[in-house]
Amino acid sequence: MARTKSEDRRQAILSAAATLIASEGLGAATASIAKAAGVPSGSVFTYFETKNELVNQLYRELKLELVAEVLAQLPKKDPKKQLHHIWTRWTDWGAAFPEKRRVLAQLTVSDEISAASREHALKAAAPTLEVIDQVRQQGVLKSRSLAFVGAIVEAMAATTMDFMIREPKQAAHYREAGFETLWKAIS
Amino acid sequence: MARTKSEDRRQAILSAAATLIASEGLGAATASIAKAAGVPSGSVFTYFETKNELVNQLYRELKLELVAEVLAQLPKKDPKKQLHHIWTRWTDWGAAFPEKRRVLAQLTVSDEISAASREHALKAAAPTLEVIDQVRQQGVLKSRSLAFVGAIVEAMAATTMDFMIREPKQAAHYREAGFETLWKAIS
Amino acid sequence: MARTKSEDRRQAILSAAATLIASEGLGAATASIAKAAGVPSGSVFTYFETKNELVNQLYRELKLELVAEVLAQLPKKDPKKQLHHIWTRWTDWGAAFPEKRRVLAQLTVSDEISAASREHALKAAAPTLEVIDQVRQQGVLKSRSLAFVGAIVEAMAATTMDFMIREPKQAAHYREAGFETLWKAIS
Amino acid sequence: MARTKSEDRRQAILSAAATLIASEGLGAATASIAKAAGVPSGSVFTYFETKNELVNQLYRELKLELVAEVLAQLPKKDPKKQLHHIWTRWTDWGAAFPEKRRVLAQLTVSDEISAASREHALKAAAPTLEVIDQVRQQGVLKSRSLAFVGAIVEAMAATTMDFMIREPKQAAHYREAGFETLWKAIS
DNA sequence: AATGAATGAGCCTTCATTCAT
DNA sequence: AATGAATGAAGGCTCATTCAT
């Protein structure tokens, strides 16, 4: 049997792509990504059919990673506690991996990302949305769609992470201020 | 003072750039932009030194246009009324010109935009921030920076506009729901 | 002697190569050929040293197949009858396997095919040329080389096959018209 | 006003393409063609949108050149004289420009050449076909299509040229032998 | 200033061939 | 022998910018 595709290599490429896209934007060359990943340029295409495919997979993996992080050890308690748990892990993740957060921000507004990929990420995030939905149904936005409320949460998380990254010493304060603001907004 | 012929061309290029960047992203070729603007391809570079310069100017002009729109007929009344006025004009502008809103979203996360351009836009937005600041000082976020509160306002406006564009029939509802949410968040 | 498993694979590759070269030209990728043949891509090179080698073998096999077809049941009668027999089987073969005919046409003008391969095919076709030579010696072209007359026969056969393929309903008519024309030309 | 496209450059590219395609086949790299033409690689694409377009234009130009050559000074006399005139100029052209003849042979069997290009060439060749048609209507092939008879003429011309090129000393003999053979075939 | 051809580095992707398994 | 991942040179084409006219 021939060599099997190496998951390590795949991850190396994905990781290099994240780094380069974070610093150079989506214009980052596949050859540069390969070099940064320590693989020959052709290998990018043995692991991803096209650059577009690579970028979409990167988007999915980052979203999944974030979701997994956010849902880990989710308490069974009341929605507010749960939302706070999610919020904390979410923003801490962003502050810990500013590069990943930046890439996600760029990919999210890019039209390279397919509807299917967005859908995929949305499904993975279902448990998170479930929590948000419970908060929503008890709050002032009960008559608005979950999508809208979810988007507001995302927007506030993004803003909060940006400031946590910008002023690391104040990170904890921003994180809490962000949550309080969010809670007042949607509860 | 009447616009010179040159100024017309400059605007044509800027406008075409907005259209193409909205649909193709920052990768839009200068030659395509020139064609869409109805000017020879070389002219792009007599009006803008580089593509980067063009993109930065576009960013500034859009920001300025938005600020002017938002501040027009600003009432002298109390901060809430003023913020509501800004909010309404802001989100209506975005809903009316989805292309411009989209470009602004893309440019904002791009690293093509220089710190100077961001600074420039920030200064132009000073009166808006002044209003936000008054609200802030009377609200729960009084101990957080204006920058943070301003960013939250921007994030919520962006989210609101996205939904107004996505569901035009519900635009008015989203606009008001957005404002109410914002108000609860920051007042 | 039964075919070995290997020989089956070799034929599968050759056959797939014919199909793909017919539709995509000589640019057909070896990996595509392997896939079409249902063998792993590496196997192409265990059966053929290089792509060039594969292509030359394909040329030889097609030529040999054609010669065998054409000479089968060759009557012992007079040269005209024999030439007619050859002509009929030749053009019918082309009409029955338009893909093979097309590949042969492409390979013939390609410089991938070595002189040795052409020589090899020529030798295999000796009995056919023998018949043509007899006709030639009794005809007006007796003072011209056999190569020339042979080339004329080939050219007319090619033209005839093209029309038989293009207008299948008229195939029989073209076949006979072609022969009559040929006969008048060289007898 | 800017520089105007140089017809000289266009011809240089076309000519270099002919040379390289003759020796390397259609796989000849556009960069090599540019180099051979003495122009920068990018210029190939300011004169031809794609390589395919370049190749099609080359086909058309060669066909047109050949038709012009063949029809020059066409006598008004009887069809046989006319056909002989065409035949002579045709085969002499091929013998004089073996490279062009070779390219035409390759392009003709290639599927890079569009139906439109073939149609275009066919129209240009109308006067030639007109002559062939007159011969055809008085000959044994009167019941076959002009296309078929035309194809036979072309096939025999091609064969004749090949031998004129291969044995230049015998060129004149092959040319006449070819015509006689043709005449017997179709008259 | 206006025009658009000229330029060549750079990009994504393909592919024949090799070789670890 | 069988398999298919690995490799990197090469290919067609794009594009920001320059500059002759």
Mean pLDDT over residues A85-110, rounded? 96
CB pairs under 8 A between A and B: 77
Distance between CA atoms of residues B119 and B108, nearest Å: 12
Helix axes D98-109, D51-71, angle to 10 degrees: 120
| B15-54 residues near strand E (Cβ < 7 Å) | 39-43, 45-46
pLDDT tens readout for residues C60-102: 999 999 999 999 999 988 999 999 999 999 999 999 999 999 9
| Contact state of B181 with A105 under an 8 Å Cβ cutoff | no
Q: Where on strand E do bases come within 7 A of a protein Cβ?
A: 1-21
Residue A11 to chain B, least CA–CA distance (Å): 25
Angle at C159 between CA C158 and CA C162, to 5 degrees: 85
Instruction: Give A77's pLDDT tier (boundaries 50, 70, 90).
Output: confident
pLDDT of residue A1: 65
Q: Which member of C26, C152, C174 has the closest CB to residue D159?
A: C152
- Distance in Å, alpha carbon of B2 to nearest chain A alpha carbon: 38
B38 sits in the region (left: phi over 0; alpha: psi -120 to 50; else beta) called left
| Average pLDDT across chain C, whole number | 95
Domains of chain A: 1-48 (1.10.10.60), 58-186 (1.10.357.10)
pLDDT band at D3 (very low <50, low <70, confident <90, very high): confident
Closest to C37 (Cα-Cα) out of C26, C25, C49, C28:
C28
What does the alpha-carbon distance between residue A183 and residue A169 come to, in Å, rounded to a whole number?
23
B75-88 pLDDT, tens per residue? Answer: 988 999 999 999 99
Per residue in A47-60, pLDDT tens? 999 999 999 999 99
DSSP string, B130-170: HHHHHHHHTSGGGGS-HHHHHHHHHHHHHHHHHHHHHSGGG
Binary contact (D181, C106; C-beta < 8 A): no
Closest Cα in chain B, distance from residue A24 (Å): 8
- Give the whole-angstrom CA distance, residue A136 versus residue B33: 44
Distant-in-sequence, close-in-space partners of D24: CB < 8 Å, separation ≥ 6: C111, D32
Strand F nucleotides below 7 A of a protein CB?
1-21
Residue C3 has pLDDT above 60, yes or no: no
* Tokens matching residue B155: 């994030």
Q: Are B23 and B61 in contact (CB under 8 A)?
A: no
Q: What is the mean pLDDT of chain B?
A: 95
Say which of D25, D174, D184 has its CB closest to residue C111. Answer: D25
Distance D45 CA to F10 C1' (A): 18
- Other C-beta atoms lying within 10 Å of the C-beta of residue C4: 9
Q: Residues of B at the A interface (Cβ-Cβ below 8 Å)?
A: 25-27, 105-106, 109-112, 140-141, 144, 147-148, 151-152, 154-156, 158-159, 162-163, 173-174, 177, 180-182, 184-186
pLDDT of residue B5: 62
The reply to whether the predicted model has a pTM over 0.85 is yes
Contact B146, B133 (CB under 8 A): yes
Query: Which pLDDT score, from 0 to 100, does residue B2 have?
Result: 41
Residue of D nearest to C140 (CA): D181
Average pLDDT over residues C150-174: 97
Cβ pair D153, D131 in contact under 8 A: no
Q: How confident is the model at residue C144 (pLDDT cuts 50, 70, 90)?
A: very high
Q: Gap from C44 CA to E17 C1', in Å?
A: 10
Chain B residues near residue A106 by CB distance under 8 angstroms? 109-110
Averaged pLDDT, C43-55: 97
In contact, A113 and A56? CB cutoff 8 Å = yes
Q: CA nearest B136 in A: which residue?
A: A181
Q: Which amino acid is at B49?
A: E
Q: Give dist(CA B7, CA B10) in Å, integer.
A: 5
Distance A50 CA to F1 C1' (A): 33
pLDDT tens digits for range B127-137 = 999 999 999 99
Using CA atoms, how far apart are residues D90 and D127, in angstroms rounded to an integer? 14
Q: What is the largest CA-CA distance in chain A?
A: 61
CB–CB contact C159 D140 (8 Å): no
Q: How far apart are the C-alpha atoms of A181 and A155, rounded to whole Å?
A: 12
CA distance linking residue A161 with residue A150, whole number of Å: 16
Q: What is the pLDDT of residue C6?
A: 85
CA angle A61, B26, A13 (to 5 degrees): 30
Min Cα distance D114 → chain C (Å) is 14
Does residue B83 contact residue B3 with C-beta atoms inside 8 Å? no
Q: Count the residues in chain A.
A: 187
Residues 6+ apart with CB under 8 A from D137: none
The identity of residue A59, as a single letter, is: Y
Residue A79 phi/psi, 5-degree rounding, is -55, -40
State the average pLDDT over residues D130-155.
95
Please tell me the predicted confidence (pLDDT) of residue D79.
94
- Angle subtended by helix axes D79-96 and D126-137, to nearest 10: 130
Contacts of D156 (CB under 8 A, 6+ apart): C152, C155, C156, D178, D181, D182, D185
Asked if residue C183 has pLDDT above 80, the reply is yes
* Rounded-to-integer distance, Cα C153 and Cα B142, Å: 98
Per-residue pLDDT, B4: 54
Sign of dihedral through CA atoms B101, B104, B108, B109? positive
Query: Binning pLDDT at 50, 70 and 90, where does residue D1 land?
Result: low
The rounded distance, in Å, linking the Cα atoms of A186 and B182 is 9
CA-based max dimension of chain B: 55
Residue D32 has pLDDT above 60, yes or no: yes
Residues 28-57 of chain D with CB under 7 A from strand E are 39-43, 45-47
b/e sequence B83-104, b meaning 16+ C-beta within 10 Å: bbbbbbbbbbbbbebbebbbbb
DSSP label of A38: T
Q: Assign B92 to helix, strand or coil.
A: helix
Q: Which residues of A touch B (CB under 8 A)?
A: 23-27, 105-106, 109-112, 140-141, 144, 147-148, 151-152, 154-156, 158-159, 162-163, 173-174, 177, 180-182, 184-186
Instruction: Map A117-143 to HEC letters.
Output: HHHHHHHHCHHHHHHHHHHHHCCCCCC
User: Taking the C1' atom of E10, which residue's CA lies nearest?
Assistant: A29
Predicted pLDDT of residue B1: 38
Instruction: Identify the residue with better confidence: B187 or B171.
Output: B171
Confidence of residue C4 (pLDDT cuts 50, 70, 90): low
Q: Any idea which nucleotide's C1' is nearest the CA of C5?
A: F1
Work out the number of other CB atoms within 10 angstroms of the CB of residue D124.
16
Taking an 8 Å cut-off on Cβ atoms, the answer to whether D177 and C152 are in contact is no
Distance B31 CA to F20 C1' (A): 19
How would you class C78 by CB atoms within 10 Å of its CB: exposed for 0-12, middle for 13-18, buried for 19 or more? exposed
Q: Is the pLDDT of residue C1 over 60?
A: no
A34: pLDDT confidence band, cut at 50, 70 and 90? very high
Reading the block at residue B26, the tokens are 């920052």
Q: Does residue B47 register a pLDDT over 70?
A: yes
User: Distance from first CA to last CA of chain A, Å, rounded?
Assistant: 58
Q: Nearest-CA residue of chain D relative to C155?
A: D155
- Give the separation between CA A54 and CA A13, rounded to whole angstroms: 9
How far, in Å, is the CA of A35 from the C1' of nucleotide F15? Answer: 24
D50 torsion bin: left (phi>0), alpha (psi -120 to 50), beta (else): beta
CB burial of residue B131 (10 Å; 0-12, 13-18, 19+):
buried
Contacts of B172 in chain A (CB under 8 A): none
The rounded Cα C78 to chain-centroid distance in angstroms is 24
A152 CB neighbours in chain B (<8 A) are 156, 159, 181
The contacts of residue C61 (CB under 8 Å, 6+ apart) are C14
Contact of chains D and A by CB distance (3 or more pairs under 8 angstroms)? no
Return the beta strands (E) in chain A as ranges.
none
Angle at D89 between CA D86 and CA D91, to 5 degrees: 100
Q: So what's the pLDDT on residue B29?
A: 97
Evaluate if residue C59 carries a pLDDT over 70. Answer: yes
Per residue in D56-104, pLDDT (tens digit) is 999 999 999 999 999 999 999 899 999 999 999 999 999 999 999 999 9
List the one residue out of B161, B159, B147, B153 whose CA is nearest residue B186. Answer: B153
Nucleotide nearest to C34 (CA to C1'): F4
Residue-wise pLDDT for B96-126, tens only, equals 999 999 999 999 999 999 999 999 999 999 9
Cα separation of D157 and C159, whole Å? 12
Q: How far apart are CA A109 and CA A107, in angstroms?
A: 5
Q: Would you say A35 and A20 are in contact if contact means Cβ atoms under 8 Å apart?
A: no
Q: Which residues does chain B have within 8 Å of residue A158's beta carbon, measured at their own beta carbons?
A: 155
Task: Tell me the shortest Cα–Cα distance from A66 to chain B, in angstroms.
Answer: 20
CA–CA distance, C113 with C123 (Å, rounded to integer): 16
